A and B are shown apart, each in its own frame.
Chain A
Amino acid sequence: MGARDQHGSGAPWGDDFRAVGKSLRKIEGLSKATGEAVYADDIVLPGMLHAKTLRSPHAHARIVSIDASKALALEGVHAVITGADLPTKYGVIPWTKDENALAVDKVRFIGDEVAAVAAVDEDTANAAVRLIEVEYEELYSYFEPEESLERHEPAIHEKNKHGNVSKHVELDFGDVDAAFASADVVLEDDFVFHGSTHAAIEPHCAVARTSADGLVTLWSSTQITHYVQREVSRVLGIPQSRLRVIQPVLGGAFGGKSDPFSLEFVVSKLALITGRPVKMLWTREEVFYAHRGRHPMNLRYKTGVTKDGQITGVDAKILIDGGSYSSFGLVTTYYSGQLLTGPYDFPSYRFNSTRVFTNKPPCGPKRGHGSVQPRFAFEIQLDELAEAIDMDPIELRRKNDIGESTKTVNGQRVTSNGFGRCLDEVERASEWKSRRGKLPMGAGLGVAGSMYISGTNYPIYPNDMPQAGIQLKVDRSGLVTAFTGGNDIGQGSSSVVRTILCEELGLDPLDVRVVAADTDLCPVDLGAYSSRVTFMVGNATIDACRKLRKLIVEAVAAKWEIDAKRVYLGTGEVFDTDERETKITTREAFEIAEAFHDTLGSTGAYNTPTLGGDYRGGSIGASPAYSFTAHVVEVDVDTETGMIDLKNVWVAHDCGRALNPMLVAGQMEGSAYMGIVEAVFENHRVNRFGLHSGPSLLDYPLATSVDTPELHALIVESIDPEGPYGGKEAGEGPLHPALPALSNAIFDAVGIRLRELPFTPGRVLAALREKAAADSQTGGTSC
């Protein structure tokens, strides 16, 4: 299958890259610089109605009745819909479809959607929402995951076979108990990871329009157009071919726009009912309810090492608080165990992960899906083990580096691996050797490492079709247009496509257009998640380019009556390598090719090779290539207040080949920022009433420019044999080590081990007191 072709990692036209590796501007950058870029809420259509949602004020309740007559009677109201209008359940994972666009029979958290109104303007829609009368019968609510594990009545999802357990996974690799017996030091501890959310600055927004013959167009701030199309068409009962989903310019996502969301179904339905365009823009508060953020986890880790620092075995038990719906929870549960098995060699490993439902906003995939929490726990434990055997923490990590061209204990194939160099880089740049353990009281350095996927071979719904597809249109004007289903969510995926086209066809960036994420125009791509885009769309693009190039070269060679091998088109000029004076422009070459072959074009695709362990779930988390990261964090702890001053983060990341170093660095910095500040400022939780503790950007504080440490991106390039020119990923991997490296830095600074997030000043202060009390008892000062 063409999709699995290997194109090698070298430059297409000889030794040097011309576009790859350059920090070119982003394809849409200038439109963002000038304010022209059109985001979902910038779309205004003639006759457009505005929709608003009525939400549940109860955490868990049965809906007894809904009376919308007063709302419907209000002047300017065009339609009111409830769960009865959209009864089909949906969910991103085919096995766990447990959501309704509007509640059917019951509500499961405060903020759950109950009804929706379309009206002439927002004020009228808001007024109408308040006129809808709903009678509820309150049910017992679950706010603690431990309770959901124990108690199953009432069930949050009645049809769920396992009470309030959403997913349970237990996997075992090697003899862990024997491994502990053979270790010199075994540590076992509990860790707590709090909830956090994406908080992209753009709130979710969707606009739908229908045509008289029943075609529906849906613009949505989604990062996965394809799944939205699948689910919305299914729930609405219209063929996929008649629902066009378009992702406008997207104002940030980070996983928070991966699920199909209520508003997409609702605006489509309301547009079908009213025959008018309908927009719904969520308020910031509503975005917090939609959530799908990082799962809170309670984690117990047990790890053994030998005196000389060899890890012998790891045992994990994890309780995952899923909130009220499944979302990606099946994958989360697997990821919580499956993704830990690098960058270190585990001779033996087992994990036991359970995700439960609670009556809280549903959790889902947030940057570093499912694996940030285990990484947090494990990398702190490694630090403690290093201390226990009196070994430098970087050294311990180096010692256990799994290396390249190998397999993890759970059967994941590792191709390229630059982890060792990542450790070298952060060690050098942070002046680790001369500073760690030697900074004044209050200041400290900490390290952590990680590994992450570049997409996986698990396509969410089983199918044998390509995961990424691309189509190229070329014509005599000299312009090449690429049509890709890949979602550019600000990370620069369309820019990567452009770079590849420039490289392969010798084009000037201004002669390339990229049309992305429009289901009517673009071949299917599975969307922006699991850090799959550069790897998969990149490979598909190379695939399409090579086919096109073959056509062009063939035509030019025929015209010049030379061997096709002699035709070079890598620089904007097309020439005969044997007789350099024989040359034409790329545009002229396109003309020749168009005359020779008729209208020109090509397609390209990518699918992963068969990957993963031969066991149930073995393919979840199996990636064609893994990225590697190491962080060193520097902090200053104010021992009077417990406040943590984040000074520096050195982020070394092996992204494979950096196709655009500026974009790679941006992803590394953005990831490191997102990780480290979620440890210090953020806490996505409900209060004692089950109500979101503060659904605003004031109460859920995002770090400002003065709170963010200096971020030093250090790019490490291990050239991957299967990635596009050897590229892998940079969007999520570089987040992981931030949180444990911070905890480890705090230990270096003030001698306390923080195993529970978030690191609030009160908690830091309490730990400092505890330590002081312990020190005074033993007479020691271990810092």
Chain B
Amino acid sequence: MLRLPKFNLVSPKSIDEVVQALADSKGRGRILAGGTDLLPNLKHEFIEADIVVSLGEVDELRGIEVSADGGLSIGPLTSLADIASNEHVLRIAPALAQAAGTVAGPQHRIMGTIGGNVMLDTRCQWINQSHFWRSSLGFCLKKDGTACHVVEGGSRCVAAASNDTAAALASLGASLDFQNAPTEHGDGKRTLEFEALFKADGAWNKKVTPTELLTRIHIPATPRGHRGGYVKLRLRGSIDFPLLGVASRLDLDEAGKIEHADLVVIALQARPTRVRKAAKLLIGTTPGQANYDTAVAQVMDAAYKQCTPLPNIPGDHEWRQEMVPVYVKRALAAALG
């Protein structure tokens, strides 16, 4: 068997106990939700833990609710399968439901949580391998090494954010509640805008530490004319991580004109990538009309120029770049249904 390294396990029952256990771990703790990312990474030994804190018994971290403003409040321990099929998510945040429904395979979506997906570690063909394999290669910046095998001479890890739901959550303007153990300086709580969570360093692409607990995901209400879509490039129709993922958002006014537009691409680099010109080009056009088609062509072009996949994850990166405009187009079509 591919064994896990040794660690201790605790299974607290409340958020308070979790954050205390994490604080006690002195940075050597890891949070376990569904385990579908953490356990393979521990087995591959590029993540280490003295203590694993299981969230499984913390019921307050579960659930999907419609919040007072008509948005969504989602517990991070909610399974991806539940997110994908939940009627509120399908109505208020369709891109999120679609993204959750394309993660991995059926069992992973039952086990895997939305919190674990948000907090998913970055991926790279040179890191998601066994200790033996990496030792033969020579360790890299992400763990124990000084070189990068993707960008020769690079000084920063460019492993790819590969969480399908991140693109959708970014397009939906989500925000995230985190909690640390309270100290004399404060209650340990903070809220981050979704995109403020990420930084451009694949070694650890988040601005929170690995021992900071995500306690809630908020999605603001979406207007009646909201349309959202998510499309994913992968070789197989199941199990595979994204080679590219594109979330789209189009909010239409009553006349069908686009009032708000957004496109976010995942699996390029360490953070989700917003297609910068999308909003500017699409807002004011009307799907079904020529101005929209022209804008889509321009957005495709802009996305192609902006998004340059690296040979970080497996797969032909030049082909992945060519797929950017195709998947931008398909994501927009998915939103419009």
Asked if A39 CB lies within 8 Å of chain B CBs, one says: no
Known: A689-B137, A691-B136, A698-B239. A281 touches B1 (CB 8 A): yes
CA distance A704 to B239 in the complex (A): 8
> Are the C-beta atoms of B133 and A285 separated by less than 8 Å?
yes
CA distance A589 to B213 in the complex (A): 77
Task: Select from chain B the residue with minimum beta-carbon distance to A283.
Answer: B2
CA distance A297 to B323 in the complex (A): 30
Asked if A122 CB lies within 8 Å of chain B CBs, one says: yes
> Are the C-beta atoms of A703 and B6 separated by less than 8 Å?
no
CA distance A642 to B235 in the complex (A): 11
Within A717-755, the residues touching B (CB, 8 Å) are none
B83 to chain A, nearest CB (A): 21
Known: A698-B239, A704-B239. A55 touches B132 (CB 8 A): yes
CA distance A228 to B157 in the complex (A): 47
CA distance A695 to B235 in the complex (A): 17
> Are the C-beta atoms of A762 and B133 separated by less than 8 Å?
no
- Give per-residue flags for B120-137: 1 if the beta carbon is below 8 A from chain A beta carbons, else 0: 000001001110110111
CA distance A300 to B232 in the complex (A): 38
Q: List 30 A-B contacts (CB under 8 A).
A: A57-B135, A57-B136, A58-B136, A122-B1, A123-B6, A281-B1, A283-B130, A284-B2, A285-B130, A285-B132, A641-B233, A681-B235, A689-B136, A693-B125, A694-B129, A694-B314, A695-B133, A698-B128, A698-B241, A699-B128, A701-B240, A704-B237, A705-B238, A706-B238, A707-B237, A760-B316, A762-B316, A762-B319, A762-B322, A765-B319
> Are the C-beta atoms of A707 and B236 separated by less than 8 Å?
yes
> Are the C-beta atoms of A704 and B137 separated by less than 8 Å?
no
Asked if B26 CB lies within 8 Å of chain A CBs, one says: no
- Give per-residue flags for A623-658: 1 if the beta carbon is below 8 A from chain B beta carbons, else 0: 000000000000000001111000000000000000
Asked if B190 CB lies within 8 Å of chain A CBs, one says: no
Q: In the complex, what residues of B have CB within 8 A of residue A354's CB? A: none
CA distance A681 to B129 in the complex (A): 20
Asked if B326 CB lies within 8 Å of chain A CBs, one says: yes
Q: In the complex, what residues of A have CB within 8 A of residue B2's CB? A: 283-285
Q: In the complex, what residues of B have CB within 8 A of residue A693's CB? A: 125, 314
CA distance A123 to B1 in the complex (A): 10
Known: A691-B137, A699-B314. A704 touches B319 (CB 8 A): no
Known: A640-B326, A694-B314, A761-B319. A57 touches B129 (CB 8 A): no
B53 to chain A, nearest CB (A): 22
Q: In the complex, what residues of A have CB within 8 A of residue B60's CB? A: none
Asked if B70 CB lies within 8 Å of chain A CBs, one says: no
Interface of B (DSSP majority class):
loop
Q: In the complex, what residues of B have CB within 8 A of residue A122's CB? A: 1, 3
Within B1-34, the residues touching A (CB, 8 Å) are 1-3, 6
Asked if B318 CB lies within 8 Å of chain A CBs, one says: yes
Within B208-250, the residues touching A (CB, 8 Å) are 233, 235-241
Q: In the complex, what residues of B have CB within 8 A of residue A380's CB? A: none
Partner-A contacts on B (CB < 8 A):
1-3, 6, 105, 125, 128-130, 132-133, 135-137, 233, 235-241, 314, 316, 318-319, 322-323, 326
Asked if A574 CB lies within 8 Å of chain B CBs, one says: no
CA distance A122 to B1 in the complex (A): 8
Within A682-710, the residues touching B (CB, 8 Å) are 689, 691-696, 698-699, 701, 703-707
Task: Among B3, B130, B233, B238, point to the contact of A123 (Cβ < 8 A).
Answer: B3
Given contacts A707-B237, A761-B316, could you give 5 more A-B pairs where the C-beta distance is less than 8 Å? A642-B319, A694-B125, A762-B318, A762-B319, A762-B322
Asked if A126 CB lies within 8 Å of chain B CBs, one says: yes
CA distance A110 to B134 in the complex (A): 12
CA distance A470 to B33 in the complex (A): 55
Task: Among B136, B239, B240, point to the contact of A110 (Cβ < 8 A).
Answer: B136
Q: In the complex, what residues of A have CB within 8 A of residue B323's CB? A: 641
B39 to chain A, nearest CB (A): 14
CA distance A698 to B125 in the complex (A): 11
> Are the C-beta atoms of A704 and B236 separated by less than 8 Å?
yes
Q: In the complex, what residues of B have CB within 8 A of residue A692's CB? A: 133
CA distance A284 to B130 in the complex (A): 11
CA distance A705 to B132 in the complex (A): 32
Task: Select from chain A the residue with minimum beta-carbon distance to B325.
Answer: A640
Q: In the complex, what residues of A have CB within 8 A of residue B1's CB? A: 122, 281, 283
> Are the C-beta atoms of A706 and B133 separated by less than 8 Å?
no
Task: Select from chain B the residue with minimum beta-carbon distance to A706.
Answer: B237
Q: In the complex, what residues of A have CB within 8 A of residue B237's CB? A: 704, 706-707
A19 to chain B, nearest CB (A): 39
B3 to chain A, nearest CB (A): 6
> Are the C-beta atoms of B132 and A681 separated by less than 8 Å?
no
> Are the C-beta atoms of A704 and B238 separated by less than 8 Å?
yes
CA distance A641 to B314 in the complex (A): 17
B286 to chain A, nearest CB (A): 24
Q: In the complex, what residues of B have CB within 8 A of residue A706's CB? A: 236-238
Within A50-83, the residues touching B (CB, 8 Å) are 55, 57-58
CA distance A367 to B133 in the complex (A): 28
CA distance A695 to B130 in the complex (A): 9
Choose among B6, B129, B133 the residue with the greatest number of A CB atoms under 10 Å from its CB.
Answer: B133
Q: In the complex, what residues of B have CB within 8 A of residue A110's CB? A: 136
Q: In the complex, what residues of A have CB within 8 A of residue B233's CB? A: 641
A438 to chain B, nearest CB (A): 27
Q: In the complex, what residues of B have CB within 8 A of residue A57's CB? A: 132, 135-136
> Are the C-beta atoms of A704 and B316 separated by less than 8 Å?
no
B40 to chain A, nearest CB (A): 9
B304 to chain A, nearest CB (A): 13
Q: In the complex, what residues of A have CB within 8 A of residue B137's CB? A: 689, 691
Task: Select from chain B the residue with minimum beta-carbon distance to A705.
Answer: B238
Task: Among A58, A281, A642, A691, point to the contact of B133 (Cβ < 8 A).
Answer: A691
Known: A285-B133, A642-B319, A762-B318. A701 touches B3 (CB 8 A): no
CA distance A283 to B105 in the complex (A): 22
Task: Among A283, A681, A689, A691, point to the contact of B236 (Cβ < 8 A).
Answer: A681
A138 to chain B, nearest CB (A): 12
Task: Select from chain B the residue with minimum beta-carbon distance to A699.
Answer: B314
Q: In the complex, what residues of B have CB within 8 A of residue A284's CB? A: 2
Q: In the complex, what residues of B have CB within 8 A of residue A707's CB? A: 236-238
Task: Select from chain A the residue with minimum beta-carbon distance to B326.
Answer: A640
Task: Select from chain A the residue with minimum beta-carbon distance to B2.
Answer: A283
Q: In the complex, what residues of B have CB within 8 A of residue A681's CB? A: 235-236
Q: In the complex, what residues of B have CB within 8 A of residue A703's CB? A: 236
Q: In the complex, what residues of A have CB within 8 A of residue B239's CB? A: 698, 701, 704
A766 to chain B, nearest CB (A): 9
Q: In the complex, what residues of B have CB within 8 A of residue A283's CB? A: 1-2, 130
- Give per-residue flags for A171-205: 1 if the beta carbon is below 8 A from chain B beta carbons, else 0: 00000000000000000000000000000000000
Q: In the complex, what residues of B have CB within 8 A of residue A643's CB? A: 235
Task: Select from chain B the residue with minimum beta-carbon distance to A59.
Answer: B136
